[in-house]
Structure 1
Amino acid sequence: MRRSARLIAIGVAALTALALTACSGGEVRGVRSGDTSSALPASGKVRESTFVYVQNLEVVTEWDPAVSYSNEIIAMQNIYESLTIYNPVTRKAGPRLATSWTASPDSKTWTFTLRSGAKFHSGRVVDSSAVKSSIERTMRLGAAPSYIWDSVDTITTPDANTVVFNLKYPEALDMMASASYAAYIYDTEAAKNEDLGKWFAQGNDAGSGPYRVAKWQKGKEAELRLTAFEEYWGGWEGLKYKNIEFRVVQEHNTAWQLLQRGEATFIGRLTPQLFDRAADVGGIRTMQVPSFQTMLMLFNSASGPMQDIRVRKAVQKAIDYPGVIRALKGAGAPASGLVPESMLGYKKGQEPVEDLAGAQELLTQAGYGPGRELRLTLTYAAGDDDQRVLATLLTSMLARVNITLDARAMSWEAQWGLGKSKDTGKRQDIFVMYWWPDVANPYSWFVNLVHSGDPVNFNLTYIKNAQLDEKIQKLPALTATNRRAAQDAYEDLQHEVIEERALMAVPWVVNYQRAYAGGVRHYTDNPAYPNVVFVHSVSPSA
């Protein structure tokens, strides 16, 4: 749902790459010493300058940058830019479209100075009025990710290069402005006399980033192609990829073959077996890095058998968590609560524990157990090998306590549509999905997943509790004014959500296992922007 500071327009990509490499914590393997294989075959200048990103899910589900909240992040973060960007070295916000900012002592007034020379793809200058118009439209549309601007009361523009935010309550707005969704700055006048939302839906962009949309083919393997925006403020000096192609390949073996043949540059995820194999292949790099991304099993607390908290707790206890981690072969690490390590709110030692006897006792109390079978439905993403492994293992684990699990692989759109269905009888009992933060703090897990929502969006546990909502709503101000109190509040909320209310289980935190062409230089992961390759900041070999 997430680069280091860009300090000056010239030479900034190399600075970014070096800063990130110093702190990525990832293990890079698989390139033999001295190997400078090019990212793609030297069959022509266009192919040589194309970065081919292969993934197993559809890229674009929503084109409007004010509404986008899904897989298209991997493209959007190359098309659009935000005022600031999360720097994993400092764990603070760094410059992007804004070069500097100040906050009042009470953190309720924030003043941003904009970068000189930045332009939208339409040719319009990225000035304060354009920034104000963009953010106000995002706020007005009120789509799920727009909550990042909830603290904003008014926006004023004293001059063309200055934007002032007056807040309703204290908040670290520099961090919110670096969010991976809804912080995009875009040209609200790009569609001219057309409806902007409809214009976006046709595959048009109004971006401020290094690449613009060249071609979109919904449902095709070569789904999306981006091309360089020549007037990008960061410049195109030196070796750069001038094009990006996003390809959708569901089979991991096929993706691996494309990489071996030089027809792919980057694969966001391989199976553990292929990942290990890739490490021994010349001309291919592999990287394993920890992430902020968690795997979630969201329990339907509003309808069906999991309305009973005893059933939800029994399912939690029936899971062999270490067994799941072993089966992932490095692709997952144990979760200690909902919040990943190195983030505010993380508490060590909260890893869940299997308790089959306890699960059986709870099911018996609920009227199930050896004498009465319990049937549950679970949905997960088709094409995701890790989710398939989880569903397979869960089927066996729950069978030990006489729970029959109907696990269904579905496209994300179909799965999500089922979860949001107004017919509560159609909703799944267990919804498997990933979550990563919109900002590099834990707030998005709570405001999206367990805050009351009507209509349902990502609150797929269907909890509606005013007291819980009130606790969640206090978190932004608490984070800005008293981080020790915020840490305590996040710890308490995790205990309430997972232990007391049993709304979900957290089987693991994702370890990213990447494979990419050996000729790609300066690539690194920024955990605040999962699965994103900032292509302007990497370069091909000469």
Structure 2
Amino acid sequence: MSLLDACGAGSSSPATAGGGTTAVLNMPFLEDMQVPDPDIMYEGEGVQVMHAVYDGLAQYKPGTNEPVPLLAESWEISTDQLTYTFKLRPNVKFHDGTIADAASWVAGFKRRAAINQGPAYMVAGIKEAVAKDPTTLVVHLKTPNNAFLHYLACPWHPFAVSPTAVRKHAVGGDLAQKWLQTHDAGTGAYTIKEFVPGNYYLLEKFPGYWGGDVAYDQIRITITPSVSTQELQLQQGQFDVITKGLPIPDVLKYQKNPDYEVPVTLGGTGNAIWINPNKPMFADRKLRQALVQAIDRTPVVQTSYGGLVPVQKGFWIDKLFPPNLDPISDTFDTAPLQALVAKLPDKNVDLAWGADGGAPVQQMAELVQTQLAAVGLNVTVRQLPTAQVFDLANQPQAKRPDLFIDWLGGDALHLDTVLRIMLRTGAKPLNLFSFTYPELDKLMDEAILQPTTDKMNAMYVEATKFVMDQAIFVPLCSQPFPIIARNYLTGIVQDSDLPEVIYADKIGRKLS
């Protein structure tokens, strides 16, 4: 055991945090993140940085799918659901010292729409945003949208972005995109001090933070692609917390070790086997349906997650949709698929798994490979780095896998964001296989117009029946998000939608 490990900490431990030294929270990322531009960043890796540096109008109440105020103190919705009036917290400062008033939000909505990257759909339905006064923001929608508050609460929500910083650092009308590749213009508890792609990101606490002082002076995030290296550095005291990617057997061991806290939270995402209907083998809907029927989900889930989570009972994740409205069966039958496979001239299958899912998803892929081999398919398994996953929609079909195992979920705890970003015709970057179903597009567009939850859910039941009939994916389970933290950390609050994100301003440390 190292000296740092013996005293229970690393650079941010009670042994080194006092006496005027800088308290640093150290944590790893498995991969480099996209640029930290709040209107471009649209991956899982990196959301931790965005939420330490930027704030939104709302967020989810921890553990629920209920939007609650953040930079908005409250809101009112008109009876026709077309007008949202937000009362803003007064005197919230951007990191450049200017005030985050209603006018800054108007400019921020326009910036996200103009940049028009992945998260731009969240503001596409805004007809007009008006600063009625410095603390009153009025948003008029083009059409009713019962998902709009969820857009504002989700991890990739519109963020408060300093229009002063955007104007100051804009080059050739780029809305400061180049500058925001290594800087920030937020209101969060931390500001970007150093951003070195491929190496590390250093965040420094913002003394003017509206939420008050925070326990850690800095957060250092080091790019560490090897999970085993992450664990070794955690044990040696070089990291204080690991938030994703750990093998489940290791998680179970840490749960028995008093030196660590191991919260396990279910978020708004799960795991699924996605089927590419544009590849020759799976263009046959009957074969897709037979594949869905042939997968024995129970050993895939229980083995990969070590009993941390059960097999999914509903077609969608529980936080997204009531499971009693979309039940699925645990029974399976390989005979129909085996009969169809016997007639196939080519039995080769390219199965990929997303690197961001870590060891559990890799194991899922290998278990599915074994099950499909038993019915006569020759399945090759490969890993897809996150950057390649997000580029699949731009690649020719020949470069896309036949099957893909990774997440099932949306941007928010509302079913619209699953359908709209993963299944809508022409959606990028997450409609990975270029699904094109006009009937489904129509159903999702009608669902968000509904004035009551019951009417909305009735539309989603119809959409669910359609997706099931098309055999687009095999739902597996809600994804557990275990976090491994040294036991001197306190106040760990995980995002309800994406629990790998911990609220940086809430984290404290035990002093001894």
TM-score, normalised relative to structure 2 = 0.90
CA contact 1:345–1:486 (8 Å) conserved in 2: no
Distance 1:506 1:309 in 2: 17
Give the one of 98, 103, 107 matched to 1:129: 103
CA contact 1:146–1:182 (8 Å) conserved in 2: no
1:510 is matched with 479
Name stretches of at least 5 consecutive residues in structure 2 with no aligned partner.
Answer: 1-5
Aligned AA (1:322) = T
Distance 2:432 2:65 in 1: 30
Give the one of 345, 363, 374 matched to 2:341: 363
Tell which deviates more after alignment, 379-388 or 439-448: 379-388
> Are residues 1:278 and 2:251 paired?
no
1:293 is matched with 269
Q: Give runs of ≥4 in structure 1 deviating > 4 Å.
A: 35-39, 44-48
> Are residues 1:150 and 2:129 paired?
no
CA contact 1:134–1:186 (8 Å) conserved in 2: yes
| Distance verdict in 2 for CA 1:62–1:505, change over 3 Å | farther
Query: 1:18-62: per-residue Cα shift (whole Å, max 9, x none)?
Result: xxxxxxxxxxxxxxxxx995574434658762122224233x113
1:196 is matched with 175
Distance 1:410 1:108 in 2: 41
1:310 is matched with 286
TM-score, normalised relative to structure 1 = 0.85
Distance 1:420 1:47 in 2: 48
2:437 is matched with 465
Distance 1:99 1:494 in 2: 36
> Are residues 1:376 and 2:349 paired?
yes
Distance 2:117 2:68 in 1: 26
CA contact 1:335–1:351 (8 Å) conserved in 2: no
1:217 is matched with 196
Corresponding residue SS for 1:333: coil
1:177 is matched with 152
1:166 is matched with 140
| Distance verdict in 2 for CA 1:91–1:337, change over 3 Å | closer
Distance 1:64 1:458 in 2: 19
Distance 2:104 2:72 in 1: 13
Distance 1:205 1:304 in 2: 46
Deviation (angstroms), 1:107: 1.6
Aligned AA (2:222) = R
CA contact 1:283–1:517 (8 Å) conserved in 2: yes
Distance 1:421 1:169 in 2: 30
> Are residues 1:319 and 2:295 paired?
yes
CA contact 1:293–1:530 (8 Å) conserved in 2: no
Query: 1:159-202: per-residue Cα shift (whole Å, max 9, x none)?
Result: 11111111122234433321211421211331414333532453
| Distance verdict in 2 for CA 1:48–1:229, change over 3 Å | closer
Deviation (angstroms), 1:428: 1.5
1:250 is matched with 225
2:3 is matched with none
Deviation (angstroms), 1:312: 1.8
Distance 1:215 1:470 in 2: 46
Corresponding residue SS for 2:270: strand
Name stretches of at least 5 consecutive residues in structure 1 with no aligned partner.
Answer: 1-34
Deviation (angstroms), 1:155: 0.9
| Distance verdict in 2 for CA 1:436–1:50, change over 3 Å | farther
CA contact 1:461–1:503 (8 Å) conserved in 2: no
Deviation (angstroms), 1:100: 1.4
Deviation (angstroms), 1:211: 0.7
Distance 1:165 1:53 in 2: 38
| Distance verdict in 2 for CA 1:74–1:338, change over 3 Å | farther
Q: How many residues align?
A: 493
Give the one of 97, 116, 138 matched to 2:90: 116
Aligned AA (2:494) = D
Deviation (angstroms), 1:217: 1.7
Distance 1:171 1:67 in 2: 23
Distance 2:100 2:226 in 1: 41
CA contact 1:112–1:164 (8 Å) conserved in 2: yes
Distance 1:325 1:289 in 2: 16
Give the one of 350, 370, 376 matched to 2:328: 350
Distance 1:351 1:244 in 2: 45
Distance 1:123 1:99 in 2: 21
CA contact 1:103–1:109 (8 Å) conserved in 2: yes
Corresponding residue SS for 1:177: helix
| Distance verdict in 2 for CA 1:86–1:380, change over 3 Å | same
Aligned AA (1:363) = V
CA contact 1:293–1:340 (8 Å) conserved in 2: yes
Q: Could you tell me the percent identity over the aligned residues?
A: 20
Deviation (angstroms), 1:134: 0.2
| Distance verdict in 2 for CA 1:47–1:311, change over 3 Å | farther
CA contact 2:443–2:460 (8 Å) conserved in 1: no
Distance 2:88 2:139 in 1: 13
Distance 2:149 2:398 in 1: 43
CA contact 2:275–2:403 (8 Å) conserved in 1: yes
What are the within-5 Å matches in structure 2 for residues 513-524 of structure 1? 513-524=482-493
> Are residues 1:413 and 2:382 paired?
no
Distance 1:123 1:63 in 2: 20
| Distance verdict in 2 for CA 1:473–1:218, change over 3 Å | same
Deviation (angstroms), 1:514: 1.6
Distance 1:311 1:360 in 2: 10
CA contact 1:80–1:185 (8 Å) conserved in 2: yes
What are the within-5 Å matches in structure 2 for residues 30-41 of structure 1? 40-41=12-13
What are the within-5 Å matches in structure 2 for residues 381-392 of structure 1? 381-382=354-355, 384-392=358-366
| Distance verdict in 2 for CA 1:36–1:490, change over 3 Å | farther
CA contact 2:262–2:484 (8 Å) conserved in 1: yes
